[in-house]
Amino acid sequence: MPTDPLTRLLGADDSHRPRLVWYSDSERIELTGHVLAMWLSKTAGLIDTESQPPQGLHLGAPLHWRTVAWACGAWLAGREVILGSGPLLAEAGIVPGLSMAFTPEELCPSAEAQALCPQDSLAVRWPGRLPPLVLDGAADLMSQPDSYSPAPAQPHDRALTRLAPDGSLSSLTRAELLDGLVDAGGADAARAADPAGSAGPAGPAGPAGPAGPAGPAGRAEHAGRARAVLVRRQDRAGALREVLGAWGQGRCAVILAPGTSRERAALAARQEGC
């Protein structure tokens, strides 16, 4: 078993229960533990293929289920996740191994490699022509293996770095990322969800396809605990920590697209049992 608590947490739930659910005003996307593990493995594999350790992954994309999957895939590969404006990172002399974004303008120009992902949850490739030498963050990802052996990592390794608009840098180690959130080794003991409460199978677009409707909000509660956690932070660093906190409790993390209406957020909380 890995000694690094973040590595243990990322590999703690390979089940058919919901692990990550994404809501926008127009869609609901569900990833079970098994499906999310596959996405993380593919992401880690692509990062390893396109960059060398200890180079980090720059995430230029806003909060999205794909952003969460890429961040966790980077941590599975033992890499650092870098948040901040791509152009500002380049001005600061920071050179990520790989930069991922939803638009060319969000990419980091100093990165060794770049990947554009479609923001459409059901898209399996970048829509239209890619800029020269830029990877397709959907199609190239899907060509990676479905399983991945986690890279060696230590709790004191840097996990998350953020470049603020004023140019200041702040970083968290892998241990600090989890500090105060959860006992990352105790996820198995905190499985509160009823497998029968899981939504339907992935849709025709593959792992991230839309799932069937969830059951009543209270059906999977155990000993007064909700089966899911609604992630309320909209900044990516805060949201990622809330996702990890939910997983450490053995619960599903429910994330909302930036700008999701209050009515849609309330529906998500009721439907997922938050």
- Note whether residue 193 is domain-resident: no
- Tokens 């990947």 correspond to what residue? 115
The answer to whether residue 103 is domain-embedded is: yes
- List the domain range (segments joined by +) for residue 64: 5-182+226-272
Query: pLDDT under 50 in the chain at which residues?
Result: 183-223
**Domain total in the chain:** 1
Tell me whether residue 150 is in a domain.
Answer: yes
- Residue 47 included in any domain: yes
DSSP state letter for 90: H
pLDDT in the model for residue 102: 98
Query: Residue 204: inside a domain, yes or no?
Result: no
Q: What is the pLDDT of residue 2?
A: 67
Q: Output the domain CATH number for residue 148.
A: 3.40.50.12780
Q: Using an 8 Å Cβ cutoff, are 249 and 229 in contact?
A: yes
Q: What is the pLDDT of residue 209?
A: 39
In sequence order, what are the residues at sequence separation of 6 or more whose Cβ sits closer than 8 angstroms to the Cβ of residue 121? 22, 27, 29, 65, 66, 205, 208, 210
Q: What is the pLDDT of residue 219?
A: 36
Residue 264 is assigned to a structural domain of this protein: yes
Task: List beta partners, residue 256.
Answer: 23
Q: Tokens standing for 33?
A: 């533990």
The pTM (predicted TM-score) of the whole model is 0.85
Residue 219 counted as domain residue: no
**pLDDT value, residue 108:** 99
Using only C-alpha atoms, what is the Rg of the chain? 18
Q: In this structure, is residue 57 part of a structural domain? A: yes
Contact 161, 89 (CB under 8 A): no
